[in-house]
């Protein structure tokens, strides 16, 4: 067994929206300092899983543990203040605000003394944001908006970063750059990262471990090399 502490653990989690059940007994764990990817088709329950973890959706059954504490029923704001940061699908930036203003909103939980340093660190990871700091966020390209969404998450000084479809709608070169930066954030800041992705090929290149969700259940799990070696996974998610 690994001696690395567990940052996140879900045990037999069920959740849904009204009468519609989306998760049917999901169980998995993410160890501190790692990068784990959740793969699956549309409707598999990936985004719902992140919503449960981040306190946006209460599970109907099961437990969610964050840094060893049962956080089932905790509000999203409580979790944010303790370093659990969710960057949702679709980026959800404030289009009429400048890049700098968006980053300031992300850092609302930071102490004033650390605020400037946090923004400077974001600019080191994303130099384009420094160049566009006074520009309205809605005028950025899709890739730049994704950089801003991740940067806004970093402003909150995350211990665990939840990324929902960071490659969605982006050109391959931009996707490669985004994932290079995600890898750097993980290694340099020791931020634990849980990524939801449909783009399995690029996500498996940075992940330490992967889970595949199918219809609200964990169907396959393993290290990236084992996932790539699974013929069904290759055919369904890797295209060969």
CB–CB of 190/4 below 8 Å?
no
SS3 content of the chain, % helix, strand, coil (to 5): 40, 30, 35
Structure confidence at residue 211 as a pLDDT band (50, 70, 90): very high
The predicted pLDDT at position 91 comes to 74
The residue count of the chain comes to: 240
**Residue 110 reports pLDDT greater than 80:** no
Give pTM, 2 decimals.
0.93
Q: How confident is the model at residue 54 (pLDDT cuts 50, 70, 90)?
A: very high
How far is C-alpha 170 from the chain's CA centre? 16
Give residue 132's pLDDT band: very low, low, confident or very high (50, 70, 90): very high
- Token pair recorded at residue 183: 């890898």
Asked if residue 181 has pLDDT above 60, the reply is: yes
> How many Cβ atoms from other residues are within 10 Å of residue 14's Cβ?
16
Token match 């959706």: residue?
A: 57
**Up-side HSE of residue 8: CA atoms within 13 Å toward CB?**
30
Residue 1 has pLDDT above 60, yes or no: no
In the chain, the percentage of residues whose pLDDT exceeds 70 is: 95
- Per-residue pLDDT, averaged over 39-50, amounts to 94
Q: What is the dihedral of CA 75, 111, 151, 29, to 10 degrees?
A: -40
> Residue 144: is its pLDDT beyond 70?
yes
Question: Distance between CA 63 and CA 83 in Å, rounded?
Answer: 19
pLDDT at 240 over 70: no
Give the pLDDT confidence score for residue 229 in this predicted structure.
Answer: 86
Per the CB < 8 A criterion, the answer to whether 240 and 234 are in contact is yes
The pLDDT score that the predictor gives to residue 111 is: 57
- Structural domains in the chain, CATH included, are 1-83+161-166+192-240 (3.40.50.300)
Q: Say whether pLDDT at 112 is over 60.
A: no
Q: What is the mean pLDDT of the chain?
A: 93
């Amino acid at each position: 067994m690994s001696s690395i502490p567990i940052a996140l653990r879900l045990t037999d989690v069920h959740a849904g929206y009204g009468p519609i059940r989306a998760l049917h007994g999901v169980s998995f764990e993410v160890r501190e300092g790692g990068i784990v990817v959740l793969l699956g088709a549309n409707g598999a329950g990936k985004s719902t899983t992140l919503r449960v973890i981040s306190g946006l959706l209460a599970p109907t059954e099961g437990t969610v543990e964050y840094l060893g504490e049962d956080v089932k029923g905790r509000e999203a704001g409580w979790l944010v203040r303790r370093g659990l940061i969710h960057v949702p699908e679709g980026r959800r930036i404030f289009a009429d605000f400048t890049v700098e203003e968006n980053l300031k909103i992300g850092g609302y939980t930071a102490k004033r003394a650390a605020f400037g340093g946090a923004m400077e660190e974001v600019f080191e990871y994303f130099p384009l944001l420094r160049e566009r700091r006074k520009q309205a966020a809605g005028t950025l390209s899709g890739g730049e908006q994704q950089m801003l969404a991740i940067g806004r998450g970093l402003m909150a000084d995350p211990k665990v970063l939840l990324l929902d479809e960071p490659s969605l709608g982006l050109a391959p070169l931009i996707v490669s750059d985004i994932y290079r930066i995600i890898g750097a954030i993980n290694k340099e800041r020791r931020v634990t990262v849980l990524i939801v992705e449909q783009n399995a090929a690029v996500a498996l290149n940075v992940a330490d471990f992967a889970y595949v969700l199918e219809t609200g259940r964990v169907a396959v799990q393993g290290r990236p090399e084992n996932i790539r070696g699974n013929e069904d996974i290759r055919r369904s998610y890797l295209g060969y």
